[in-house]
Structure 1
Amino acid sequence: MLGNDIVDLKFAKLHYNWRRKGYLNKIFSARELELINSSKSEDTMVWVLWSMKEAAYKCYNRLTSERLFNPQAFECALFSSCTNSASGVVIRNGQTFFTKTEISKNYIHTLAYSGTLVLDHLSVHHHKNNAEYSVAFTDSTNYSLQKDKNHLPEVINKKTQQKHMASISHDGGYLCIAFLKV
């Protein structure tokens, strides 16, 4: 299973007021709130944990077809965290999803995957978030985008017609397409 989430930090600062009273308690567990409160950058930690939950939700949804997103039901734990990256796990109903997060000055991007997925088999493509992203992706790769029978994203190799599970995430000015190459 594969999921990804991207947070445009400039857009988030303007449009998502996570500091309003009670907001964090609706999304994060007590242990996650400790991570936020003890972080050198609370803003960054909020969006790292949020993107971990969102990316894991996409994996979980693909696995179970459950469409209801309940952020508190996804429990995050960090293995490591530094200025430009983080890694951890998200657990939901006994399912464990590993996460790898890239932290830049402009965005936070998290990949979530099941334990059987090999990161070397992933392809990650960043694009501008606009209506033409599908055309830009198709023109710049050997793949095209479509939805599978469950309306979930997949890519098709233009030469072999082989289909691959994909995850698409967008926020503000950023869009990311991640998919399995094999």
Structure 2
Amino acid sequence: MNKLSSDLEDSSKLGLVLLGCLLFRLIPFRPPNFEPLLASGLPFAKRHGPLVAAVFSSASIAGLDIAMGKVGLWTLYTALAYGLIGFAAGSFFSTRPSAGAFSYAAFSIPATLLYDAVTMLAFGMQFSVPMPLLVAGQIPFTLMHLAGNFLLCLALTPALERHFLDKRFIHGERLASKNFNLN
């Protein structure tokens, strides 16, 4: 397969996963903060690096607001915050080809805490919410977000990696092992 067809195939897979994230987030009555955004982006971050991961992350956040016609200032700061998380994931995982489910789950903890802290502060400033009220409301929100991201990174990320990125290329180099790795 030549580079152009490989890039087109990867773009199609990335678009399909992005669409899947958007559709999943439209499911009514699902548990709050149980979203596949971080877990879905990590295999692509590992393969394609920081820039693609940042774009995927920002697009996954902004895509729902655009689709629902509810774009606002929050779209900007949540997309930027998630783009930063994607960039960090791409920087971290693109140099760790043997990273597996436990590495993904471990990464989800500081990533979720950082994202929730940044968006909490931005939300509070935008809507003039007093800090004690903001923190009190954020605690259960973040606990649910941590649980969802951790569990999805354990289960979904390795599955996506196997099924969508089964060639296991990292920046053009084939990995030696095709085994499912839990490191």
Give the shorter-chain TM-score range. 0.3 to 0.5
Task: Please report the TM-score for the alignment, with normalisation by the length of structure 1.
Answer: 0.34
What is the TM-score of this pair, normalised by structure 2?
0.34
- Identify, as 1 or 2, the structure richer in strand: 1
Which structure: greater helix fraction?
Answer: 2
